[in-house]
Structures are given as C-alpha cells and as structure tokens.
C-alpha cells in the first residue's frame, strides 16, 4: 500500500508554500524529506495529517489499484516539539493509550515489552512525565506511534533532541518497523537522512523532487542535493 499525493497546493496569504506536490511514497521504505528551514516540510506534514486545510489537490492510499481515503487511523505524526500529559507517569500514559486502543494494539506485548523496545530505563518508567527531558518526551511520543502502528508515520525532526547513543537506538527501531509502513522523515540535516533513509526527497520551491543516487558516489550525491536546495527561495 502506497501513499499517493497529486497536485497538492497550499498558500498562506499570498505566499505559495506548496506549489503542486506530486509524489508516491512506497511501503517498506524510509524517506528522507530534506529542505531548508522554511521550505514547507512541516506544512506538508500538517496537510497530510489534516491539521490544516489544503487549497487544492488530493492524497490517498493506493492498495493495488484500489484508492483508499486516508483516515486518522492511517496517519501517525511525531512532532518536533513533543506534547505529552505531564501529570501522568510514562507507565500510566502508555497503559491508558493501550487500553483506549485495545482493538488496534498488539496484545501479545506487555507495557514493559514496549518500554524495552525504546530502551527506556526502568527507573524512568514510573516517573511523572513533567520530570522527563525533552528527549525522553520525544521518546514517549515516538513509542505511542510505534504501539499504534499506523500505515503512514510522519516524523518531523524527531532525532534532534537525542544524544548520539539514543539517536542510534531510535534509528534501529525505525529501520525495524519500516517493512509494513511508509515512514517519511523530515530533517534539514543531510548526513542524518543519508544514514537512516532508503530514499531522499528534496522539498524546494514548493515542489518535491526525488534525488537518485544512480552512478554517483557519496560526495557527488551530497553535491547534487545541495545544488537542488540552493534553488529554494522560500527563506
């Protein structure tokens, strides 16, 4: 099942941010969405998550030849600034989330199995989340989406708050779940995208362009990405 975007446009007042996005994201891959600050990466995510209304165009899931309207169950969104109920402990939050989504969650795993997946320290699982660092809150936000297992997972700069060790752990988790999902990873850090992602897509001048690595060495590939980004006049 793939995510298809056709001629998606979005403007703010007189500024065109998305100028006709056309792309098909395929299941089983992690896509690195690269763009300069202000290029419209978060706007694209907000459109796909239906947090903001698009001006025109469409997007849907394609299963073989069958088009399927995207619902809230199909999309997960990891925000760059995590939002969690700070009056709950990590365990209380995860338990509550699993209970209200019991029909959609893998019941064979325990709460601690899920905490183990993201290597959450045992002593942190029963702390109030108001005591969590930014990185730990981000971990919890990612865990909730992994538990829910939506078909499409939008990741908006999710690893920037982690130290090197935790970021490496989370990259391994994302790689382990990509088989049955479509993961779109937004970042402005090229090396991170190259390390984690199967495909690189650049958002520049309101358009999406896939950067093919065919017949290029690593430095030539980086140079090609930079040249594409230089053409962006959104900043």
Q: Is residue 53 part of a domain?
A: yes
The answer to whether residue 197 scores a pLDDT higher than 80 is yes
Torsion angle, CA of 81/120/144/169, rounded to 10 degrees? 80
Q: For residue 127, which of 163, 168, 84, 165 has the smallest C-alpha distance? A: 84
Q: Is residue 76 part of a domain?
A: yes
Q: Is residue 196 part of a domain?
A: yes
CA-atom Rg of the chain in angstroms: 18
List the end-to-end C-alpha distance of the chain, in Å, as a whole number. 34
The answer to whether residue 146 scores a pLDDT higher than 70 is yes
Average pLDDT, the chain: 88
Q: Is residue 197 part of a domain?
A: yes
Q: Is residue 81 part of a domain?
A: yes
Over residues 192-198, mean pLDDT: 86
Over residues 58-74, mean pLDDT: 92
CATH classification of the domain holding 121? 3.40.50.300
* pLDDT score recorded for residue 155: 92
Q: Is residue 123 part of a domain?
A: yes
* pLDDT score recorded for residue 35: 85
* pLDDT score recorded for residue 233: 60
Over residues 81-96, mean pLDDT: 93
* pLDDT score recorded for residue 216: 56
How far apart CA 144 and CA 115 sit, in angstroms, is: 10
* pLDDT score recorded for residue 235: 43
Residue 138 sits in which domain range? Answer: 2-230
How far apart CA 144 and CA 131 sit, in angstroms, is: 18
Kindly tell me the burial class for residue 72, based on how many C-beta atoms sit within 10 Å of its own C-beta (0-12, 13-18, 19 or more): exposed
Side-chain-facing half-sphere of 115: CA atoms under 13 Å: 18
Residue 56's pLDDT band, with cuts at 50, 70 and 90, is very high
How far apart CA 182 and CA 29 sit, in angstroms, is: 6
Residue 2's pLDDT band, with cuts at 50, 70 and 90, is very high
The answer to whether residue 168 scores a pLDDT higher than 90 is no
How many structural domains comprise the chain? 1
Q: Is residue 235 part of a domain?
A: no
Q: Is residue 127 part of a domain?
A: yes
Over residues 97-104, mean pLDDT: 90
Report percent pLDDT > 90 for the chain. 54
The answer to whether residue 234 scores a pLDDT higher than 80 is no
How far apart CA 122 and CA 124 sit, in angstroms, is: 5
pLDDT tens for 102-127 read: 888 887 889 999 999 888 999 999 99
Neighbour count for residue 65 (Cβ, 10 Å): 5
* pLDDT score recorded for residue 220: 79
How far apart CA 233 and CA 210 sit, in angstroms, is: 19
pLDDT tens for 206-229 read: 999 888 877 556 787 778 778 777
């Amino acid at each position: 099942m793939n995510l298809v975007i056709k001629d998606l446009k979005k403007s703010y007042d007189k500024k065109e941010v998305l100028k006709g996005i056309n792309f098909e994201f395929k299941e089983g891959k992690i896509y690195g969405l690269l763009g300069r600050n202000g290029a419209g990466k978060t706007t694209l995510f907000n459109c796909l998550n239906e947090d903001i209304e698009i001006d025109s165009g469409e997007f849907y899931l394609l299963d073989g030849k069958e088009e399927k309207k995207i619902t809230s169950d199909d999309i997960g969104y990891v925000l760059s600034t995590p939002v969690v109920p700070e009056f709950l402990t990590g365990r209380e939050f995860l338990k509550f989330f699993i209970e209200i989504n019991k029909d959609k969650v893998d019941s064979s795993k325990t709460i601690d199995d899920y905490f183990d997946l993201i290597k959450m320290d045992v002593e942190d699982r029963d702390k109030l989340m108001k005591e969590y660092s930014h990185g730990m809150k981000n971990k919890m936000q990612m865990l909730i989406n992994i538990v829910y297992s939506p078909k499409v997972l939008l990741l908006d700069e999710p690893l920037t708050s982690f130290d090197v060790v935790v970021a490496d752990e989370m990259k391994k988790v994302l790689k382990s779940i990509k088989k049955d999902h479509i993961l779109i990873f937004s970042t402005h850090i090229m090396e991170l995208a190259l390390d984690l992602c199967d495909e690189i897509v650049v958002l520049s001048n309101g358009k999406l362009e896939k950067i093919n690595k065919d017949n290029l060495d690593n430095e030539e590939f980086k140079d090609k990405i930079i040249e594409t980004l230089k053409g962006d006049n959104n900043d």
